[in-house]
Amino acid sequence: MRKISLYLTIICCLFHSKTSAQSNQESSLALTPPMGWMTWNYFADQITEKDIMEMADAMVSSGMLKAGYNYVLIDDGWQGGRDHKNNIIADPKKFPSGIKALADYVHGKGLKLGIYSDASLLTCAGYTASLHFEEQDAKTFASWGIDYLKYDYCGAPEDVETAKSRYKTMADALRNSGRTIVFGICEWGGRKPWLWAPESGGQLWRTTNDIRDKWKRRSAKEGGEGILDIIDLNAPLAEFAGPGHWNDMDMLVVGLNGKKGPSGDLGGTGCTQAEYQSQMSLWCMLASPLAATNDIRNMSEEVKRILLNPEVILLNQDTLGKQAVRKLNNETWTVFLKPLANGDYALAILNRSNQTQQITYDFGLTGSYQIKDLWQHKVIRTGKNWKGSVNSHETRLFRLIKK
Query: CA-CA distances (angstroms) from residue 151 to 100, 321, 353?
Result: 19, 23, 36
Q: Is 91 in the site for ligand GLA (CB under 6 A)?
A: no
Instruction: Work out the angle between the directed axes of helices 98-108 and 134-144 (0-180°, nearest 10).
Output: 50
Please state whether 30 falls in left (phi above 0), alpha (psi between -120 and 50) or beta: left
Q: Is 210 in the site for ligand GLA (CB under 6 A)?
A: yes
Q: Is 49 in the site for ligand GLA (CB under 6 A)?
A: no
Q: Which of 401, 290, 400 is nearest to 347 (CA)?
A: 400
By the 8 A CB rule, do 395 and 349 touch?
Answer: yes
Catalytic residue among 91, 147, 210, 295: 210
**Active site (annotated) includes residue 248:** no
C-alpha span between 305 and 277 (Å, rounded): 9
Q: Is 213 in the site for ligand GLA (CB under 6 A)?
A: no
At closest approach, how far in Å is the CB of 144 from ligand GLA? 19
Instruction: Work out the angle between the directed axes of helices 2-27 and 160-175 (0-180°, nearest 10).
Output: 100
State the DSSP H helix or E strand holding residue 99, giving kind and residue range, or none if neither.
helix 98-108
Q: Is 134 in the site for ligand GLA (CB under 6 A)?
A: no
Q: Is 40 in the site for ligand GLA (CB under 6 A)?
A: yes
Q: Is 225 in the site for ligand GLA (CB under 6 A)?
A: no
End-to-end CA distance of the chain: 68
- Quote the radius of gyration of the chain (alpha carbons, Å): 22
Q: Is 299 in the site for ligand GLA (CB under 6 A)?
A: no
Q: Give 249 or 287: the residue with its C-beta nearer to ligand GLA.
A: 249
Catalytic residue among 152, 213, 248, 250: 152
Among 124, 271, 292, 306, binds ligand GLA (CB under 6 A): 124
Using CB under 6 A, which of the segments 2-10, 49-57, 119-127, 280-288 binds ligand GLA? Answer: 119-127
Q: Is 123 in the site for ligand GLA (CB under 6 A)?
A: yes
Let me know how long the chain is: 403
By the 8 A CB rule, do 107 and 145 touch?
Answer: yes
| DSSP 8-state code for residue 149 | E
**Active site (annotated) includes residue 265:** no
At closest approach, how far in Å is the CB of 232 from ligand GLA? 19
Q: Is 75 in the site for ligand GLA (CB under 6 A)?
A: yes
3-state secondary structure of 398: strand
Q: How crowded is residue 214: how many other Cβ atoms within 10 Å of its Cβ? A: 25
Using CB under 6 A, which of the segments 118-126, 165-173, 229-237, 322-330 binds ligand GLA? Answer: 118-126
Chain positions 157 to 196 lying near ligand GLA, rule: CB under 6 A, are 186, 188
Among 26, 134, 137, 152, binds ligand GLA (CB under 6 A): 152
Q: Point out which residues bind ligand GLA (CB under 6 A).
A: 40, 75-76, 123-125, 152, 186, 188, 210
**Catalytic site positions:** 152, 210
